[in-house]
Amino acid sequence: MPEDSATDRGNHTPATGQTDPTADGWLALDRQHVWRPYTQMKTAPPPVPVVSGSGVWLQLADGRRLLDAISSWWVNIHGHAHPRIGQALAEQAGRLEHVIYAGFAHEPGARLAAELAARAPAGLSKVFYSDDGSTAVEVALKMAYQAWRHRGQPERRLFVALDDAYHGDTFGAMAAGGVQAFHSTFHELFFAVRRVATPASRARGSKSPDLEAVLDAEGDQVAAVIVEPMLQGAGGMVVNPPSFLAQVRALTAARGIPLIADEVLTGFGRTGRFFASEHADIAPDLMCVSKALTAGYLPLSATLATEEIFNAFLSEDRGQTFFHGHSFAGNPLACAVALASLELFDELDCLGRVARLEQQYRERLAALETLPVVASTRVLGGMAAMDLVTRGAGGYLDDLGPRLTRSFIDRGFLLRPLGNVLYLLPPYVITDDEVDACFDAVAAVLAEI
Ligand SMILES: Cc1ncc(COP(=O)(O)O)c(C=O)c1O
């Protein structure tokens, strides 16, 4: 429980009466043994004990509930503990929980690969499974790099990535990332990456060069360009226009340079289209998906590739194999859950729901924009964000983030600003009233800053 959460529970999240009397016991074990992600273990408040979930709600050990307005790190789309997904998982667990994926096949893996290829932008017909967003990115970077070696162009070693980029926390993904706070410690270990401006970073005064200038100067050494299409999440919920994405595709296509679309956050409807690449009607050469792929239930990711990249690995020489694989690659439980999630996605008309969310966000943000503490706002699909005026450091390490997180928890909301960027990104099952409740809470918390 956060230190300061004993008072002011907020009105709209009444306790359900369900409590977990064992929580003190297992929280003591947690305190003793658990090292949490993205958490300064010396100063962070104690973690919030969660015992169950239902829809957008998380049930806490002391009987309170929290509205999960950030989809638990952007993964959940159909709500917590959806019975259809639970059923798919249980059925698959009763049949086959896992099997090595090198040299073996199973039905959920095959069916999911076909579904993904059918829904992806044109040409992405090959599906390589891994475990999470970072590994999907590693796979894409390695595929692009190795394919050039097979084609006799080993000098293509450079990667090009965007200002504000975030692609994960493994080494390749970190090298491509552009958020200093997360990865600068490891900077000396990274491979060469040219960082280029986006319309959003240029408007903030970025001195990075334009993509075209970098490709004109060094294009013949570039292995791939990697982008988060339309929406850069961890970099601050930065939105770029479709014209920029179209331009990136045109510049790379003209030079025969592979484009990697990291749709780990943006896939599965988050930006209002099934994949964000559709906003600019482009098809990348490699595409990374994870997070909402399993509706947030199990770790799974996929890197989709064109036939052209796949074919660059076909050889009589076993040395030209793509030597990459994880123990749990293509896990059947995760694939079965992903298939159930895709069925629900269509049945529940999730794209229609996201379009209505976007509309409601715009209406509610219009009132907040007038507050002096709100510097700017933006909306894209199921994401609404605002930059807050701060006297702190700005960026991810701004103290405002943790302070606001605690205020929201006290009011019954899971909202976790990225420094001074406050955003909503809820599961699509959120109701209109629940969205209004989120914005009421935002208004109340902003009034206290
Ligand atoms: C665009 C993007 N790529 C990659 C990742 C890394 O995914 P994971 O945390 O599953 O490794 C993230 C995570 O937030 C992301 O937003």
Distance separating alpha carbons of residues 313 and 304, to the nearest angstrom: 15
Q: Which domain holds residue 291?
A: 83-347
pLDDT on residue 16 = 59
Instruction: Give yes or no: residues 239 and 311 share one domain.
Output: yes
Burial 240-257 (b: 16+ CB within 10 A, else e): bebebbebbbebbeeeeb
Task: Name residues whose C-beta falls within 8 Å of residue 397's C-beta, 6 or more positions apart in sequence.
Answer: 181, 419
Distance separating alpha carbons of residues 169 and 191, to the nearest angstrom: 14
Atom 7 (ligand 1): residue with closest C-alpha? 133
> For residue 441, which amino acid is it?
A
Query: For residue 134, how far is its CA from the centre of ligand 1 (angstroms)?
Result: 6
Of 320, 347, 374, the last residue of a domain is 347
Distance separating alpha carbons of residues 289 and 137, to the nearest angstrom: 9
Q: What is the CATH number of the domain that holds 240?
A: 3.40.640.10
Is beta strand 259-262 parallel, antiparallel or unpaired with respect to 222-227?
A: parallel
Instruction: Give yes or no: residues 201 and 282 share one domain.
Output: yes
Instruction: Give yes or no: residues 318 and 373 share one domain.
Output: no
Assess contact for 400 and 391: CB atoms under 8 A: no
Instruction: Give yes or no: residues 363 and 341 share one domain.
Output: no
Of 318, 347, 376, the last residue of a domain is 347
pLDDT on residue 393 = 80
Which of 170, 291, 423 for mutating ligand 1's site (highest number of atoms within 8 Å of CB)?
A: 291
**From 38, 216, 220, 349, the catalytic residue:** 38
Give me the tens of pLDDT residue by residue for the chain, a chain 449 residues long. 333 333 222 233 444 557 888 999 999 999 999 999 999 999 999 999 999 999 999 999 999 999 999 999 999 999 999 999 999 999 999 999 999 999 999 999 999 999 999 999 999 999 999 999 999 999 999 999 999 999 999 999 999 999 999 999 999 999 999 998 899 999 999 999 999 999 999 999 999 999 999 999 999 999 999 999 999 999 999 999 999 999 999 999 999 999 999 999 999 999 999 999 999 999 999 999 999 999 999 999 999 999 999 999 999 999 999 999 999 999 999 999 999 999 999 999 999 999 999 999 999 999 999 999 999 999 999 999 999 999 888 888 888 999 999 999 999 999 999 999 999 999 999 999 999 999 999 999 999 98
Asked if the structure places residue 343 within a domain, the reply is yes
- Would you call 38 a catalytic residue per the annotation? yes
Q: Where are the beta strands (DSSP E) in 205-348?
A: 222-227, 231-232, 238-239, 259-262, 286-289, 301-305
Is beta strand 286-289 parallel, antiparallel or unpaired with respect to 259-262?
A: parallel
Q: What is the pTM of this model?
A: 0.95
Q: Where are the beta strands (DSSP E) in 248-289?
A: 259-262, 286-289
Instruction: Give yes or no: residues 175 and 305 share one domain.
Output: yes
Assess contact for 64 and 10: CB atoms under 8 A: no
Instruction: Give yes or no: residues 343 and 365 share one domain.
Output: no
Instruction: Give yes or no: residues 328 and 374 share one domain.
Output: no
Distance separating alpha carbons of residues 217 and 290, to the nearest angstrom: 34
Q: List phi, psi (to 5°) of 116.
A: -65, -45
Instruction: Give yes or no: residues 161 and 301 share one domain.
Output: yes
The domain total for the chain is 2
pLDDT on residue 391 = 87
pLDDT on residue 398 = 87
Of 347, 368, 393, the last residue of a domain is 347
Instruction: Give yes or no: residues 146 and 59 share one domain.
Output: no
Instruction: Give yes or no: residues 279 and 385 share one domain.
Output: no
For 296, the enclosing helix (H) or strand (E) is none
**From 20, 68, 163, 262, the catalytic residue:** 262
Distance separating alpha carbons of residues 156 and 312, to the nearest angstrom: 15
pLDDT on residue 4 = 33
Q: List phi, psi (to 5°) of 390.
A: -135, 150
Block residue for tokens 């429980």: 1
Spell out which residues line ligand 1, taking CB within 6 angstroms.
Answer: 132-134, 137, 166-168, 228, 233-234, 262, 264-265, 290
Task: Name residues whose C-beta falls within 8 Å of residue 359's C-beta, 6 or more positions apart in sequence.
Answer: none
Instruction: Give yes or no: residues 373 and 431 share one domain.
Output: yes
Q: What is the CATH number of the domain that holds 423?
A: 3.90.1150.10
- Would you call 142 a catalytic residue per the annotation? no
Distance separating alpha carbons of residues 276 and 103, to the nearest angstrom: 33
Instruction: Give yes or no: residues 114 and 261 share one domain.
Output: yes
